[in-house]
């Protein structure tokens, strides 16, 4: 097994475990729609369910459409990430870690869809009446992974531009 594969398995696996354990704790200890203030007027643990995707996209679509759509979309995304990972240079550690984070998050939310038919969300950030949509560990890892890929791409683009300038 290559170092790259081992890295992805460890990171994605850890994310899946942390995501599922945190969600299970919320499901077992906090009734649906109940909230516990962690940082008053800023951060609450709130047991919510999201039948849609990010920002509740397609949450009100019929179940017969929504369920297969999200299962297929997740499957396609996972396959695309695995192909991207296969082509990624092992030396580009940030890319490998970012892909692993996105994979772990996607699989964590997929497990929820298979178990509950929806995703368990519980992290709720708000400020002066403005609320960010509730999210979970998997969502956080997907976001951080995307940021990592963007950062890596920008660094690569800048390095490529500098090489082109110095060659001319």
Residue in 19, 89, 112, 139 annotated catalytic: 139
DSSP class of 45: E
Asked if 112 is an active-site residue, the reply is: no
Look at residues 24, 46, 38, 150 and name the one whose alpha carbon lies nearest to residue 99: 150
Read off the tokens for 124.
């709720």
Asked if 139 is an active-site residue, the reply is: yes
Residue 58 backbone zone (phi > 0: left; psi -120 to 50: alpha; other: beta): left
E strands, the chain, in order: 35-39, 43-50, 119-127, 130-131
71 and 110 Cβ atoms separated by less than 8 Å: yes
Residues serving a catalytic function are: 121, 139
């Amino acid at each position: 097994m290559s170092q790259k594969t081992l890295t992805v398995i460890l990171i994605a696996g850890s994310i899946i475990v942390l995501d599922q354990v945190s969600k299970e704790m919320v499901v077992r200890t906090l009734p649906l729609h109940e909230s516990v203030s962690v940082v008053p007027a800023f951060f609450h643990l709130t047991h919510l369910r999201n039948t849609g995707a990010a920002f509740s996209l397609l949450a009100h679509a019929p179940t017969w459409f929504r369920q297969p759509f999200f299962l297929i979309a997740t499957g396609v995304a996972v396959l695309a990430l695995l192909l991207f990972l296969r082509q990624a240079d092992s030396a580009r550690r940030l890319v490998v870690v970012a892909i692993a984070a996105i994979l772990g998050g996607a699989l964590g939310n997929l497990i929820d869809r298979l178990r509950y038919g929806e995703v368990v969300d519980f992290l709720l950030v708000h400020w002066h009446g403005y609320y960010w949509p509730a999210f979970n560990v998997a969502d956080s890892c997907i976001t951080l992974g995307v940021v990592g890929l963007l950062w890596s791409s920008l660094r690569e683009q800048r390095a490529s531009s500098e090489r082109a300038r110095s060659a001319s």
